[in-house]
């Protein structure tokens, strides 16, 4: 039975407090309503304001995820046992059969890959029967030889290495094989006293007795012990022994140790497929996060591959979504913005309401489902509503938002006014933050009438801070525009207290768009728009209307 994968709940890039809190609280709700595990993630850095909220209610920051394309970790990895480089090719072949794999991975004691060996490598090694020194050239251990021949030790120690000499079958009498047996040879023979004695006098390193002949005369045993010669007996005949013995060589002698193609758990499957298409190998090793061998994948691994399952909150536009969203399976969307350009393959649950905050919708869903709201979840949702509605000052705010915030504040045990002051204060110290941090704290891109434009926003209760930030952001916006990804860029420096916005704009058509929306513009640095506090309900609709004229 396949293990169920986590379902990701995630907000938009450059997330604001609503985006982060909506992901956490909706993941919590769905996990309680279903058997699936929903996990909150984030698609960007968390703002100072949001950090304050998470710390205030003791909630961990969601893990950052850059791309939701399917990765190697999302597919089934074949658990094929690794082997050590000293084992015989016979044992390697046995392992291949048992694990139903045509490739084995050789690892060291720490689990790092030293090489790979394929069924083709084993086949080639089996055909190399013309060199009677191949066993010693491969520095084969006597333990491998004994294991391969299913032999029993009669005299000597099996701890050594056969690294010099040839394999020879002594099928004749000593006078007929004189001149053929040399020092350090491994000799295969029957239980003939004269031949055994001759082999010992010739200085062989190992004698293999065939057909289970264990009855070795005492003189032969004593002489073998004196010379340090290993004597073993095998149940096989000499023909079979001669065929089998090459299978005792260690896999190290034939393994591939360089140019091995491996994949990590984080590799994206579409990239993996491209690499596999260029390789003739069927199986490929997978490494864990520490670079150690984990298992194997093949082209067949992709047949049952499942896309990452994703729930989107607080957005429904592709250019605001986490990278790779087109490769994921979107399960649900919960949002309070205009309908965007996101497409899905299958029908999805889509809840979109004209409210001031996504967390207001999620609060309603908690109430509809009868799931108890803990003080921690209540605190997050209340904070999101306060943030998104600028403590009920935004034109996006509805009575529903305000009533939800009041109820949630009661559950969380907080004062809305005091909490809002602390929360906005935590995010308002702009002088200590870089232009990039300020600009991307709450930034979104939009496309309409063949034009792509970006809109960022920062809120503060300090007018002096906002004016100083304006001078810093103008050159940053010029540099951003020069990269060529946008036609125009706008930024809102919103004063919560007097409910106004310093609106900065850059781009060839930006001034004419602003003029069309708000009247004649006399400054190239920006204009002050009284009563403007909402990007969603005020600025973006005005800009889109002007661009579509």
DSSP line for 66-101? SB-S-BGGGSPPB-PPPB-TTSBHHHHHHHHHHHT-
Q: How many Å apart are CA 230 and CA 152, to the nearest integer? A: 11
What is residue 133's three-state secondary structure?
coil
Q: How many Å apart are CA 207 and CA 151, to the nearest integer? A: 11
What is the token pair recorded at 104?
């084995």
Q: 173 and 194 in contact (C-beta within 8 Å)?
A: yes
The whole-number pLDDT of residue 101 equals: 92
The whole-number pLDDT of residue 3 equals: 65
- The helix/strand count (H/E) of the chain reads as 19, 23
Beta-strand pair 113-118/167-169: unpaired
What is the token pair recorded at 109?
């004691």
Contacts of 76 (CB under 8 A, 6+ apart): 2, 301, 304
The whole-number pLDDT of residue 487 equals: 94
Q: Residue length, the chain? A: 549
**Within 10 A of 218 (CB to CB), how many other CB atoms are there?**
7
What is residue 172's three-state secondary structure?
coil
The structural domains of the chain, ordered by start, are 7-70+307-427 (3.90.1640.10), 74-126+253-302 (3.10.580.10), 139-248 (3.40.1390.20), 431-548 (3.10.310.20)
What is the token pair recorded at 459?
């809120």
Q: pLDDT tens track of the chain, all 549 residues?
A: 456 789 999 999 999 999 999 999 999 999 999 999 999 999 999 999 999 999 999 999 999 999 999 999 989 899 999 999 999 999 999 999 999 999 999 999 999 999 999 998 888 876 555 788 999 999 999 999 999 999 999 999 999 999 999 999 987 777 777 778 899 999 999 888 888 999 999 999 999 999 988 888 999 999 999 999 999 999 999 999 998 999 999 999 999 999 999 999 999 999 999 999 998 888 999 999 999 999 999 988 888 788 999 999 999 999 999 999 999 999 999 999 989 888 888 899 999 999 999 999 999 999 999 999 999 999 999 999 999 999 999 999 999 999 999 999 999 999 999 999 899 888 777 777 889 988 998 899 999 989 999 999 998 888 888 888 888 999 999 999 998 889 999 999 999 888 899 999 999 899 999 999 998 887 767 899 999 999 988 999 999 999 998
Q: Phi then psi for 515, rounded to 5 degrees?
A: -60, -45
The whole-number pLDDT of residue 125 equals: 76
The whole-number pLDDT of residue 2 equals: 56
DSSP H stretches of helix in 75-169:
89-99, 119-127, 134-137, 142-149
The whole-number pLDDT of residue 464 equals: 85
DSSP string, 202-254: TT-SEEEE-TT-----HHHHHHHHHHT-EEEE-SS-HHHHHHHGGGGSBGGGT
Q: How many Å apart are CA 149 and CA 141, to the nearest integer? A: 13
Q: How many Å apart are CA 78 and CA 168, to the nearest integer? A: 42
The whole-number pLDDT of residue 334 equals: 98
The whole-number pLDDT of residue 1 equals: 45
């Amino acid at each position: 039975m396949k293990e169920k994968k986590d379902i990701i709940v995630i907000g938009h890039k450059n997330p604001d407090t609503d985006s982060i809190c909506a992901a956490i609280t909706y993941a919590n709700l769905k996990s309680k309503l279903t058997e699936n595990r929903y996990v909150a993630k984030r698609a960007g850095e968390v703002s100072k304001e949001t950090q304050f909220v998470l710390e205030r209610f003791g909630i961990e920051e969601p893990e950052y995820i850059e791309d939701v394309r399917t990765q190697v970790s999302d597919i089934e990895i074949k658990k094929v046992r690794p082997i050590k480089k000293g084992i015989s090719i016979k044992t390697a072949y046995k392992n291949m059969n048992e694990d139903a794999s045509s490739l084995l991975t050789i690892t060291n004691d720490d689990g790092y890959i030293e090489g790979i060996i394929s069924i083709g490598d084993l086949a080639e090694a089996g055909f190399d029967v013309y060199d009677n020194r191949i066993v010693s050239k491969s520095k084969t251990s006597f333990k491998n030889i004994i294991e391969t021949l299913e032999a029993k030790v009669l005299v000597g120690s099996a701890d050594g290495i056969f690294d010099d000499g040839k394999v020879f079958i002594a099928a004749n009498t000593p006078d007929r094989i004189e001149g053929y047996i040399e020092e350090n040879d491994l000799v295969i023979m029957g239980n003939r006293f004269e031949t055994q004695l001759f082999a010992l006098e010739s200085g062989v390193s190992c004698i293999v007795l065939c057909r289970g002949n264990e009855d070795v005369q005492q003189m032969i045993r004593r002489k073998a012990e004196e010379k340090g010669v290993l004597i073993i007996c095998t149940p096989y005949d000499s023909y079979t022994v001669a065929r089998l013995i090459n299978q005792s060589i260690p896999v190290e002698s034939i393994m591939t140790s360089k140019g091995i193609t491996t994949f990590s758990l984080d590799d994206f499957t579409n990239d993996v497929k491209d690499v596999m298409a260029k390789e003739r190998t069927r199986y490929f090793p997978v490494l864990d996060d520490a670079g150690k061998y984990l298992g194997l994948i093949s082209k067949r691994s992709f047949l049952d591959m499942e896309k990452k399952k994703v729930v989107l909150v607080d957005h429904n536009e592709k250019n605001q979504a986490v990278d790779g969203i087109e490769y994921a399976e979107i399960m649900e969307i919960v949002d309070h913005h205009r309908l965007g350009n996101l497409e899905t393959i299958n029908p999805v649950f889509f809840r979109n309401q004209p409210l001031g905050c996504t967390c207001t919708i999620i609060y309603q869903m908690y109430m509809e489902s009868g799931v108890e709201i803990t003080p921690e979840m209540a605190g997050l949702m209340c904070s999101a509503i306060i943030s998104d509605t600028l403590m009920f000052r935004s034109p996006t705010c509805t009575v529903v938002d305000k009533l939800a915030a009041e109820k949630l504040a009661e559950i969380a045990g907080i004062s809305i006014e005091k909490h809002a002051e602390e929360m906005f204060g935590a995010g308002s110290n702009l002088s200590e933050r870089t232009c990039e941090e300020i600009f991307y704290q709450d930034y979104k891109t939009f496309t309409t009438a063949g034009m792509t434009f970006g809109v960022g926003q920062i809120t503060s209760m300090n007018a002096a801070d906002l004016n100083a930030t304006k001078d810093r952001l103008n050159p940053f916006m010029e540099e951003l525009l020069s990269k060529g990804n946008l036609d125009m860029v706008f930024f809102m420096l919103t004063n919560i207290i007097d409910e106004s916005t310093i609106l900065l704009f850059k781009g060839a058509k930006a001034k004419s768009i602003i003029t069309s929306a708000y009247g004649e513009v006399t400054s190239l640095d920006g204009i002050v728009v009284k009563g403007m506090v909402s990007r969603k309900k005020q600025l973006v609709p005005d800009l889109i209307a002007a661009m579509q004229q």
